[in-house]
Amino acid sequence: MPYFDAASAAPLHPVARQALLAALDEGWADPARLYKEGRRARLLLDAARQAAAEAVGCRADELVFTSSGSRAVHTGVAGALAGRRRVGRHLIVSAVEHSSVLHSAEVHEAGGGTVGRVAVDRHGAVSAGSYAAALGPDTALACLQSANHEVGTEQPVAEVAEVCRAAGVPLLVDAAQSLGWGPVGGDWSLLTASAHKWGGPSGTGLLVVRKGVRFAPREPADERESGRAAGFENLPAIVAAAASLRAVRAEAAAEAVRLRELTERIRARVPELVPDVEVVGDPVRRLPGIVTFSCLYVDGETLLHELDREGFSVSSGSSCTSSTLTPSHVLRAMGVLSEGNVRVSLPAGTAAEDVERFLSVLPGVVAGVREKLGAVPQAQAPGPGPGKAPGARAAEGGRAAEGTRAGEGAPAGELVLDTLGRRCPIPVIELAKVIGDVPVGGTVRVLSDDEAARLDIPAWCEMRGQEYAGEEPADEGSAYVVRRVS
């Protein structure tokens, strides 16, 4: 079964498995003890730390191992903010950071600090200029991921690090997605990563704090890992994490070329094979194995289940797969289509024939989901027939709001489509059905209380050549105004 969700967790690398099993036999003792078994464990820990430091490009005494990548982020953010509390309490993050960074920012804000959130462009990238503009005299720390976990866009870390360094502000880089592909360039100050992203065991992260960076651990004092990661080290996992990082780095150059070709094949062919698709993320500056696209008129959860039935494990940022019914914060910040979102992230060793089978299966799966939802393909959507009252088809989907037809209280050429209580992707499906019921220049006001509509209706307009006239308040939810131009 092709596993296409390596961005969530990469399969355990064979080297990691070998190192883990060996360390279980040799590294079980306390590395802080001076007897033979302790000295043996210490040698393993020191060797793992040195190997990881070489991969990162830092000194061994700047790197500590943590219980996860999220723990590394929480410790790094809190410690750096505490170390610079005399400077101020302003924290800067990008709008597309991993949830661990955003949750740390929320805790900081709840404690009285301030947070500046830097916007991204439609590809999901920040600019160094936006970070420069966000910096202030009270800025204690800035955070930026090296590459996005949902769409694969690489960030200009070196350029942002330069403006932060000029302002005297440390930059923390979340390198979880990229570290397996190579070191992070630029003059950053702190770095975090997670072993399960590169084929190491889960529950192992790392935190790097460069010499000279003011850092004050916020947890109770502990003698292990320089006082920055409390508790007995999980030595077998640490050894396996370091060994697998070295192994994947040795394979990275050749594997990156191969996976880029496969993801480029997906990026190019999915829009050819499936109508009404938006491929998101930077087309050039992106990680080798990640490609993300969104499909109009598709329920994301159903799409993922159908792909799973066909033997493909993928993930999604669609609101339709979330218990909160809100789109991924990454897609929301980018302002791109969220419904029917699919992230394909290929692990090392993915076979080209698996990608080809995915491409052969996808069109039928999407068509089947659209058919179940009653979506009308745009090319087949009829305009109003002779004698058909504008708004008549609004009653076919969702609830038809009272007085929506011309001459019944609504202005001529306007149709009100009530989709309150209907979730992604129903509002857009119903909009596509009724747009032909208003004349060119006329408008459809879509009433919706689904957060995804704020993204998906403007995206539908851009993809279908209609004009999005904006959002207006309504008695319930919001009214999204679409003007027919073709």
* 253: CB partners within 8 A, 6+ apart: none
What are the residues facing 341 on neighbouring strands?
A: 294
Active site residue 320: yes
Cα–Cα distances (Å) from 103 to 110, 115, 167, in that order, read 10, 11, 25
From edge to edge, which strands make up the β-sheet containing 290-295? 277-280, 290-295, 341-345
String of DSSP letters for 304-343:
HHHHHHTT-B-B---GGG-TT----HHHHHHT---TTEEE
SS3 1: coil
Residues in the chain: 486
Round to whole Å and give the CA distance between 8 and 207.
19
> Alpha-carbon distance 207 to 79, whole Å?
11
Q: Cα separation of 255 and 195, whole Å?
A: 18
- Looking at residue 464, what DSSP letter applies? H
Task: Considering the candidates 143, 295, 320, 461, report the single residue annotated as catalytic.
Answer: 320
In the numeric block, which tokens belong to residue 225?
A: 């890992």
387: exposed, middle or buried (Cβ count in 10 Å: 0-12, 13-18, 19+): exposed
What whole-number distance in Å separates Cα of residue 469 and Cα of residue 461?
10
Contact 343, 150 (CB under 8 A): yes
Cβ distance 434 to 391 under 8 Å?
yes
Four-residue CA torsion sign, 194, 200, 203, 209: negative
* Residues tagged active-site: 320
